Amino acid sequence: MNSDRYTGPFKNYILGHIALKQAVGYKYETDAAHLARFDRFTLERYPEATTLTKVIVLDWCSKKAHETQANQCTRASILRQFGIYLNRVGVAAYVLPKGYYPTGATYVPYIYSADELQRFFAETDRCRYCYECPDRHLIMPLFFRMIYTCGLRVSEARLLTVADVDLEQGILSVHHSKKDNSRLVPMSDELAERCRSYARQVHLYPSATEPFFPALGRKPMTLTNVYHNFRRFLWRAGISHGGKGKGPRIHDFRHTYACHCLKQWVLQGRDLAAYLPVLKTYLGHDSFAETAYYLRLTADVFPDLTLKLEGRYPDLIPMLERAEDEAD
């Protein structure tokens, strides 16, 4: 941690807060960047501050021009946690009430049809060689298939290293994902074979720590780079996009994977009480409710399954109004 990054009146407390988070296992990099901006804000506007007052908190949390509601809520949540830390170490601080700012309309996941998936992946297969990104035409067909067929979050795939992809056993090791969870993710035989073929072309002299999907300089792809490629493939596949915040999104491949699994199990007459814990582990969820959310989503997307689901699992369906883990 670079202590020179912080120079405002709460510098030492911010450093202590970050150190505590990282000591218990959190990467805390994105939140630390938010706190660095808050540090510069207080240095400019409240350089003599000794307590975190309500005025400072509300000033910082006020909605910025062109800022999304979700981003404002994120900033507020980070500062709320910092306020709680200050109180615990004996420094007076105003703690913003939980849910103080409305989160806005809940995004309804887009579930890709089988035809849309086929068209999208066909477009990734048509990705051409580019001298500026020489591995792009090899990365994109595998990257997006891996997100869908393994139900991964975007950054879980993006940040995989060579060591994380067991080509012999066909298993992915996902480290420090959401809420700092880690898990093993078995791949299908077909995907594992694709990974082996890809590795023979991209990783001729592999280093265990380099990204499995390298960008320029052998660094991980950025989210912006992934998103731009996604939008291009989406457009070429003829799949309509509703604009910023509307979707479909890359993360919806993960939603689609879960719904397709559940649909298949229901049609096969499988006992979901036994299979839902498997899906929970595979997706890396913290709670059963996060996984059970897909029961409602599956019933909504595939209405012919509704009666079957509600008839067999009447106690589960009413629980499924929201799932915080799958909101982003």
Confidence of residue 307 (pLDDT cuts 50, 70, 90): low
What is the mean predicted confidence (pLDDT) over 9-13? 95
Confidence of residue 324 (pLDDT cuts 50, 70, 90): very low
What is the mean predicted confidence (pLDDT) over 21-35? 85
b/e map 21-30, b = 16+ CB within 10 Å: beeeeeebee
Is residue 310 within 8 A of residue 317, CB to CB? The reply is yes
237-287 pLDDT, tens digit per residue, is 999 988 776 789 999 999 999 999 988 888 888 887 788 888 888 998 877
- Per CATH, the homologous superfamily of domain 114-236 is Intergrase catalytic core (1.10.443.10)
What is the mean predicted confidence (pLDDT) over 170-183? 84
pLDDT of residue 102: 79
Query: Which position has the higher pLDDT, 266 or 195?
Result: 195
Tokens of 201: 């072309």
What is the mean predicted confidence (pLDDT) over 126-131? 88
147-158 pLDDT, tens digit per residue, is 999 999 999 999
Give residues with Cβ within 8 angstroms of 158, minimum separation 6.
143, 211, 213, 220, 221, 223, 226
Question: Where are the chain's structural domains?
Answer: 3-88, 114-236, 252-327
Whether residue 141 has pLDDT greater than 60: yes
pLDDT of residue 58: 95
* Sign of the CA dihedral with 255 first, then 257, 261, and 264 last: positive
Is residue 111 within 8 A of residue 231, CB to CB? The reply is no
pLDDT of residue 100: 86
Give residues with Cβ within 8 angstroms of 24, minimum separation 6.
none
Whether residue 136 has pLDDT greater than 80: yes
pLDDT of residue 150: 96
The answer to whether the peptide bond before residue 214 is cis (omega within 30 degrees of 0) is no
Confidence of residue 181 (pLDDT cuts 50, 70, 90): confident
d(CA 118, CA 90): 58
The average confidence (pLDDT) of the chain is 87
pTM of the model: 0.73
Is residue 60 within 8 A of residue 38, CB to CB? The reply is yes
Half-sphere exposure of 250 (CA within 13 A, CB side): 24
